[in-house]
Structure 1
Amino acid sequence: MKIAICDDEKEIRESLRNILEEYREPLEQIDLYAGGEEFLECGKSYDLLFLDIDMKGINGIETARKIRLKDKKIKIVYVTAYKEYASQAFSVHAFGYLLKPIKKEKIYRQIQDALSYEEETPKEIPFLEFMTLEGRVRIPCDTIYYFEFFNRKIKLVSKKETYFMRGKISDIREKMEIYGFAAPHKSFVVNLDKVKNIKGYDIYLMNNEILPLSQKQAVAFKKSLSRFLVKKE
């Protein structure tokens, strides 16, 4: 992987580089930048960027917005001392959000996630099979909007039909995660490609339905959505 570190604190830059150099497998490239302007002017492409938010000059959020105008694929992981920037970070499709002080295990986890995300995402749209109350059905994955645990049954809402099945919503969540689905609420599993917008704790889908986003699941769901959008672009 080609990795960049952008932080206006020299101590943080050096600390991060030392952590990355100790990673179990050699990384192809590790470059350091002292600010957003310097990174934007470098003209290089990277797989992963560890980016501070509260920097002198152009802050990390604005830096990311400018990056996204030219590079849709780079995975941006924010490393910051402030929790309150999380919602802004997701608006620029951040891949991760880490709080200082930096912990080695969490940095390595981001590298592992970035590598495995590329490997595990299906390259073709598959047909998925479900045993419904009406019988066995095969449905293109990209036509499914969401699953809902409703009246002790699982409701599957697709573009053309609605089906009902027996089972656990947790099993559906595990099965569908690899296909770009995530759980915004304990009773729902949603196709991230069908999310139009999120306002507060409401999720607006492409079919104009509105689903609930629980406070407990909000950060994890938005992170999953950001990662999905980065990959899709």
Structure 2
Amino acid sequence: MFRVAICEDDKYQVDINKLLINKWGEKRSIDVSIKEFYSAEEFIIKNESSLSYDCIIIDVGLKKINGIELARIIREENKDISIIFVSGLEKYISYGYDFDAIHYLIKPLNAEKFSRCLNKAWSRKSLYKEEKEIITIKKFGDIINLKYSDILYCESYQHYVEINTIRSKIRVKKKISDLEKELDEKLFIRTHRSYIANISYTKEIKKNSIVLKNGVEIPVSKMKKNQVKDLYFKYF
């Protein structure tokens, strides 16, 4: 999944961006999720964190809080996310270097250049995932490195936690609350006192449970129901 945010106050330009992004995703067989925001203020208010995205496309000429200021706010929180500036003016190009932007594109957009920028953003995401999305598990003296993408869900049994991966089950002596702290909160959710689920493998949300893509049903407590829904819709 490649998660993109578009911060642009021109509806016509938003539609063009979405069309080009979707065509790029189809060509490369990459699932794309796009959210649009018509001001920097809307992006800031509606998003708890820019970490929800892999790439943010920012119109420099946004009103009130402009695109440069928005990029500054984003970079204070997130040094790794890909930023692509879009503008009708060339005079702010130097800011692209200040914020380590992938590119500063001039309107009207050149489809080929835009695709190259998305390619670079996708490559950055892959590298970032490779470096960051791994958890180290100690199992009876052995050390196991697990990719987040391999973990389906975790279930606790007294003093042990069973980590269910796409290939096997790993049982470790650990409190589920301690494991929860080690996992990425943007991807994993404590659905119940005994369960942690990888939201990316969720196929369906039911009244008191979620169903994973492999058919396993995970209970969801009343207290966690809204949090589970929020993370699900934020991810997808």
Gaps of 5+ in 1: 4-28, 32-41, 47-70, 77-103
- Where does residue 232 of structure 2 map in the other structure? 225
- Where does residue 129 of structure 1 map in the other structure? 136
Partner Cα distance (1:182, 1:222) in 2:
10
Partner Cα distance (2:227, 2:137) in 1:
27
Partner Cα distance (2:216, 2:138) in 1:
25
The question of 1:145 aligning with 2:80 is answered: no
Partner Cα distance (1:75, 1:147) in 2:
34
The question of 1:45 aligning with 2:6 is answered: no
Q: Which amino acid aligns with 1:155?
A: E
Change (3 A) 1:150 1:144: same
Question: Would the aligned equivalents of 2:211 and 2:218 in 1 still touch at CA under 8 Å?
Answer: yes
Partner Cα distance (1:75, 1:188) in 2:
33
Partner SS for 1:149 = strand
Alpha-carbon displacement from aligned partner over 1:41-71 (angstroms, at most 9, x marks no partner): x42429xxxxxxxxxxxxxxxxxxxxxxxx9
Question: Would the aligned equivalents of 2:135 and 2:182 in 1 still touch at CA under 8 Å?
Answer: no
Partner Cα distance (1:202, 1:212) in 2:
4
Among 194, 200, 216, the residue aligned to 2:201: 194
Question: Would the aligned equivalents of 1:2 and 1:30 in 2 still touch at CA under 8 Å?
Answer: no
Per-residue deviation, 1:210 = 0.8
Question: Would the aligned equivalents of 1:75 and 1:114 in 2 still touch at CA under 8 Å?
Answer: no
Alpha-carbon displacement from aligned partner over 1:44-102 (angstroms, at most 9, x marks no partner): 429xxxxxxxxxxxxxxxxxxxxxxxx941157xxxxxxxxxxxxxxxxxxxxxxxxxx
Partner Cα distance (2:162, 2:149) in 1:
17
Partner SS for 2:129 = coil
Which TM-score applies when normalising by structure 1? 0.51
Tell me which of the two structures has the higher relative contact order, counting C-alpha pairs closer than 8 angstroms and 6 or more residues apart.
1
Per-residue deviation, 1:226 = 1.1
Change (3 A) 1:179 1:164: farther
- Where does residue 46 of structure 2 map in the other structure? 110
Change (3 A) 1:179 1:217: closer
Per-residue deviation, 1:202 = 1.9
Alpha-carbon displacement from aligned partner over 1:177-215 (angstroms, at most 9, x marks no partner): 246111111221111111111122121112221110111
Per-residue deviation, 1:114 = 3.9
Question: Would the aligned equivalents of 2:52 and 2:186 in 1 still touch at CA under 8 Å?
Answer: no
Partner Cα distance (2:35, 2:51) in 1:
15
- Where does residue 182 of structure 1 map in the other structure? 189
Change (3 A) 1:168 1:110: farther
Gaps of 5+ in 2: 16-31, 54-77, 82-124
Q: Which amino acid aligns with 2:215?
A: N
Q: Which amino acid aligns with 1:110?
A: K
Q: Which amino acid aligns with 2:152?
A: Y
Cα RMSD of the aligned pairs, angstroms, is 3.3
Question: Would the aligned equivalents of 1:141 and 1:179 in 2 still touch at CA under 8 Å?
Answer: no
Partner Cα distance (1:171, 1:165) in 2:
12
Partner Cα distance (2:9, 2:50) in 1:
16
